[in-house]
A and B are shown apart, each in its own frame.
Chain A
Amino acid sequence: MSQLVFYLFAVLAVASSVLMITRKNPVYSAMFLVLTLFSLAAIYVLLNAHFLAALQVVVYAGAIMVLFLFVIMLLNLGHDVEPDVRPLIAWVFGGGLGLVLLAEVVVALRSTEAVADIDLLSVWFQEKGAVAGVAEPLFRTQLVAVEVAGLLLLVAMVGAVVLAKRKS
């Protein structure tokens, strides 16, 4: 059953991502990306990463994509967009490169040793609970990284404000 769900969302993700890169209107592209992100969130749930799924929806789809849409709207790119689509031959070439990349990734994965199939996560989450299972190692062993990430966000915020400010 869950396999079926997985495939469903997988197909959805792929389809919407392909649609995303082919739309002329950047607003449509953004919308399709949101759809892709949602699909991924669903897959995270299936993979026993509940907290991350929630985070994906809230942060990625909810904040980052909103930011993207803000900027698109701000720059008034919705309406008169320049013809942005390349000729077919370019798509063939690009698609070819993508396929080569895919092939190489597949080969690389196939040649690695199989991982022992032990389900560590279920035990983990059962012991700790969904949120605490992620939060506890985060704030215990990876505390420094968390603090640095916080600093990073602060810098990004300041930077964004400074860069986007209109020079008066």
Chain B
Amino acid sequence: MVGGPLIGLLGTVLQEGAEHAGEFVPFLPAWMILLPFIGFVINGLVAYTAPERRKLVSVVGPGVLGLAFLIAAINLVLIAGVHDAEPVVRSYWTWIQVGQLRIDAALQIDQLSLIMALVVTCVSFIIHIYSIGYMGEDPGYARFFAYLNLFVFFMLVLVLAANFPLMFVGWEGVGLCSYLLIGFWFTQPAKAEAGQKAFIVNRIGDFGFLVAMFMLFAYLGTLDYQSVFALAPSGFAYGGAAVTVITLFLFLGCTGKSAQIPLYVWLPDAMHGPTPVSALIHAATMVTAGVYLVARSSVLFALAPLSMNVVAIIGGVTALFAGTIAIQQYDIKRVIAYSTISQLGYMFLAVGVGAFTAGIFHLGTHAFFKALLFLASGAAIHAMHHALHHAGEDASEDASQDMRNMGGLRSYVPTTFRTAWIASLALAGVFPLAGFFSKDEIIWSVGARGQTALWIVAVITALLTAGYITRWLVMVFYGQSRVSDKARQYLHAAPWVMAGALVVLALGSVVTGWINVPEALPLLPEFTWLHHFLHPAFAQAEHIIVEHVGEAAHVAPFGGGEGTWAIASTVAAVLVIAVVFQALKDKKYLPASESAEPTGIAGLLYHKYYVDELYDLVIVRPFKRLCVFSWRFIDQGIIDGALVNGSAYATRFGGWVLSRFQTGYIGTYVLVIVLGVLIILGAVTL
């Protein structure tokens, strides 16, 4: 209850005191990155040489992150104390220097990067603790923590970078770690394929990022954030083709990394990875990199209103699209995966209409309750798997993760149950939990900028969200247990490391909303700390938007102020929850092995609108045919056959032909000499 206001209080106090100090001096910024890397090295060495030394890994893995979190927190407090602090760029060495291009290995410490770093380190730390319990019996324990640490390292590089190429290093690095971690149990083909799918689809997005970087350099001659954003307003015409194309390519990268239409298809498959991975990478951190990119490049996007529209539309459509799929999924993690895609859509919707702070706000709150939802799923799966295994039943992933096999778990995993409720309410946007504040702000901002259609989409999606998460809750925790009697006796609660992590995240899901309470809400003290904190980061972009588009309105599309709609949304969410709960709590589900596959509209949703199949048909298969063609015809046939072997053959043939001249017969030689003389004489005399 006091967490949110406490930070603000501390900040204000420091503000008063440090106003005379003037400048923000970062505290050991490079160590935020170095610590996870050191963790990776140590854990990697252990994994390589002595994988059974778990104690060391259990200390080093989360430990480095705890320290990194502390450093991030200290820096945040420091920077909060300085009013409108300027970004500090620390350059460590010159990485690339070619002609006009100069890229340093440099970190930019400012409000936006620190907020991101804080979220990343905090949630990572908690999930690392959780993993001690969840992966406790896995033979690849050390390798897991090594990869996890490596991931956090790259993620921090991504958010703390001071220029686009270094961010891209982090961007690629988290993609790599995602691949490694999704396919962690690579001996199972489906999981290895899921990792591959993630990496390949991401790559398409990366191409977009690269093209955008090339163009940026071509137009502005630099890739440092400071320089680019300073030069952009004058270097690009407002709404011009150049900046629009650049930002659209950047957004292509975002659709890949942050799983928006059309490149979202990898995220549901990524659920093949261990649950902590799903929680960390595919909920809280990596997938938010796209939102961060757009927020960081707010100036560029502000200069390209068309791109911002594209971002908002895709964000909104994806949110609705994913929400509809989520209501008909039976895998416990897939529901949450599609929910993540949907919520990411909200974030893009926010930054697409120019509400950058709202987007980052939702990023932060979502990290907590989504991670919590995943970890709760993990606890449930952990219990199910254990139970099924000991009962001698099918304990495969399909069986232990299918919600039709669960039910009534609330008496067996109480902590998980309660924290899952908190997370669900936060996701649905019920006051006073975190999701309420952030999601409402987004919906309000969309409406206030006059985007009526998108506003309706956002509202409908919010109701859908409440619906599918309630269904999720009911199927897992309520109703008659579909776990067999034999297995039921083996169901046990989560160990304290896991339960503890769940509790901490639940706490976060509650309080993180309070860092930004808008004034319009009745009864509550205004505390718009986040807005003020992030103001310097987005000031330039907001100025451009106001200049060209005008101020945001204060009335929603269908009348009523912010307060009115906030209350209305909470009430609506609660209503939906109640209705769905009532409808489903007594429904008799059949266990997965006995259930028929859904048909009709439900079938369409269950099969995710057959998008994967469509991609396979239209893109993958023709591409594979092209590859086979290139291989057989071009590579083997033309290059190997005609060019390489062919030229060798031609040379040999030419040699053979010429060798026929060596008859060894003097008569031939004499004839040739005479002919030569005749020719030369002829040439000279004639």
Contact = CB atoms under 8 A, between A and B. Distances in A.
B2 interface: no
Contacts of A111: 685
B418 to A, nearest CB: 112
B654 interface: no
A57 to B, nearest CB: 30
Interface string B650-686: 0000000000000000000000001101100110111
Contacts of A105: 681
A101 B677 contact: yes
Interface string A103-147: 011011001000000000000000000000000000000000000
A104 B683 CA distance: 10
A101 B685 contact: no
A105 B682 CA distance: 9
Nearest to B671: A97
Contacts of A107: 685-686
A108 B675 CA distance: 17
A91 B554 CA distance: 115
Contacts of B682: 104
A101 B684 contact: no
A101 B676 CA distance: 11
Contacts of B675: 97
Range, interface on chain A: under 10
A100 interface: yes
A17 to B, nearest CB: 17
Interface string B365-409: 000000000000000000000000000000000000000000000
Q: Which DSSP category, helix, strand, loop or mixed, fits chain A's interface?
A: helix
Contacts of A108: 681, 684-685
Listed residue (A100, A101, A104) with the most chain B CB atoms within 10 angstroms of its CB = A104
Nearest to A86: B667
A154 to B, nearest CB: 29
B685 A104 contact: yes
Interface in B146-162: none
Contacts of B686: 107
B681 A104 contact: yes
Interface in A44-66: none
A86 to B, nearest CB: 10
Interface in B560-594: none
A8 to B, nearest CB: 31
A22 B678 CA distance: 23
Contacts of A101: 674, 677-678, 681
A100 B678 contact: yes
Nearest to B682: A104
Interface string B481-517: 0000000000000000000000000000000000000
A108 B684 CA distance: 8
A155 to B, nearest CB: 24
A119 B633 CA distance: 82
Nearest to A98: B674
A67 B42 CA distance: 98
Contacts of A97: 674-675, 678
Interface in A5-48: none
A97 to B, nearest CB: 6
Nearest to A93: B671
A100 B676 CA distance: 12
A41 B685 CA distance: 31
A144 B683 CA distance: 37
Contacts of B685: 104, 107-108, 111
Nearest to A107: B685
B573 to A, nearest CB: 109
Contacts of A100: 678
A101 B685 CA distance: 12
Given A100-B678, A104-B681, 14 more contacts: A97-B674, A97-B675, A97-B678, A101-B674, A101-B677, A101-B678, A101-B681, A104-B678, A104-B682, A104-B685, A107-B685, A107-B686, A108-B681, A108-B684
Interface of A: 97, 100-101, 104-105, 107-108, 111
18 contacts: A97-B674, A97-B675, A97-B678, A100-B678, A101-B674, A101-B677, A101-B678, A101-B681, A104-B678, A104-B681, A104-B682, A104-B685, A107-B685, A107-B686, A108-B681, A108-B684, A108-B685, A111-B685
Interface of B: 674-675, 677-678, 681-682, 684-686
Q: What are the nearest 5 A-B pairs in CB distance?
A: A104-B681, A108-B685, A107-B685, A104-B685, A100-B678
